Amino acid sequence: MPLYMNYPSWIHPEIFPTVPFLSMIRWYGLMYVFAFGTAILVFKQLLKEGALDTPQQKATEDDVFSFFSFGIIFLLIGARVMSTLVYDTSGLYRHKPWLIFWPFNTQGQFTGLAGMSYHGGFIGGFVGMLIWCLIHKRNILQWVDAMGVAIPLGYTFGRIGNFLNGELYGRVTTAPWGIIFPNAEKFPYNFDWVQDIMNQLNITASSSTVLVNLPRHPSQLYEALFEGLFLFIVMWNLRKHKPFNGFLTGMYTIGYGFVRFIIEYFREPDADIGFRVIHDSDAPIYLNQSLLNLSTGQIFCLCMIVAGAGIIISCAIVNKKKKAIL
């Protein structure tokens, strides 16, 4: 009996793949709608709890939608720009930056804005929220704290969208929940390590087999569970126990950075980029052979952890000084 799973053949990136015009509607885009919708619902609950009120001013639902509009617009800009300029190695977008937000490929086929960077979205979203708070004269850290609680649950849907797209899959694994993704890289059957994994998982091959598609970690689902649901539970339980404004912002930044850093060991780096920090140059990206080989995502996650700690320490010092004055 095989000790792995095949990616469901009925799942397609398009929701209606055989229906004219409707074939442009993709699961990934729909998951973004669910993500933003879920985040808004959580944010509105925080509004009801008074998490956004001050003695001088009470927040309204109009404020919430205006705040989200700024955040979402800048998030999408940041996510797309960093994806095209950091993760694209072809140089296309550097030479033709107007294509960054062009939703068609070079053949004229509609692809949407394929390719988003979480870390770019994080930076862009923060800038958007900062601008909104400055324009409306609101407490920046108080509002960003609330966003830190609202984001994770919505983020769950984004990673489910990656799974439905059959993209961002993990490294080769012998775990029984490993999944064979149809578009994953295949490996020569005559490699010893390939045959060893096939034997462990009871994968059979015919005498004419040249290339083998091996099971991968469903890293998109790991991220949906831990960067989304798990982190949401942590942030939700911390929301009423924050000692000062900025604490939840720092905790979310540290929490996401830490969880994502770990999961990156199961997720395969982009083939054209590989590892950014290389300790073992012989370690392939599709196997986890060195914990000291770090991906681009892990570098950004380390920066997030440091930044989150800096936010908490800085806000704690400022809060202590304010109390001393009072």
| Overall average pLDDT of the 10-28 stretch | 76
Segments in the chain forming alpha helices (H): 27-48, 61-82, 92-95, 118-136, 140-164, 192-200, 219-223, 231-238, 247-263, 296-325
| pLDDT over threshold 80, residue 105 | no
Distances (CA, A) of 249 to 44, 128, 132, 233: 18, 15, 17, 15
> Over the range 62-87, which residues count as b (16 or more CB within 10 Å of their CB) and which as e?
ebbeebbebbbebbbbbbbbbbbeeb
- The Cα–Cα gap between 115 and 28 comes to 11
pLDDT of residue 111: 58
- The Cα–Cα gap between 1 and 8 comes to 18
| pLDDT over threshold 90, residue 42 | yes
Q: Which of 85, 161, 91 is nearest to 119 (CA)?
A: 85
φ, ψ of residue 294 in degrees (nearest 5): -115, 140
> In this structure, is the dihedral angle defined by the CA atoms of residues 250, 256, 259 and 264, taken in order, positive or negative?
negative
Across all residues in the chain, what is the average pLDDT? 88
Pairing verdict, β 187-188 and 211-212 = antiparallel
Residue spans of the domains in the chain: they are 16-168+191-202+214-321
pLDDT of residue 165: 87
pLDDT band at 206 (very low <50, low <70, confident <90, very high): confident
Pairing verdict, β 179-180 and 211-212 = unpaired
Please give the model's pTM, rounded to 2 decimal places: 0.89
215-260 pLDDT, tens per residue?
A: 999 999 999 999 999 999 999 999 999 999 999 999 999 999 999 9
pLDDT band at 13 (very low <50, low <70, confident <90, very high): confident
60-81 pLDDT, tens per residue?
A: 999 999 998 899 899 988 888 8
- Tell me the three state secondary structure of residue 324: helix
| pLDDT over threshold 90, residue 142 | yes
- Say how far residue 67 (Cα) sits from the centre of its chain: 21
| pLDDT over threshold 80, residue 20 | no
Residue 106 or 184, more confident: 184
DSSP type of residue 98? G
| pLDDT over threshold 70, residue 314 | yes
Cβ atoms of 104 and 111 within 8 Å: the answer is yes
User: Taking the CB of residue 171, how many other CB atoms lie within 10 A of it?
Assistant: 20
pLDDT band at 55 (very low <50, low <70, confident <90, very high): confident
pLDDT band at 19 (very low <50, low <70, confident <90, very high): confident
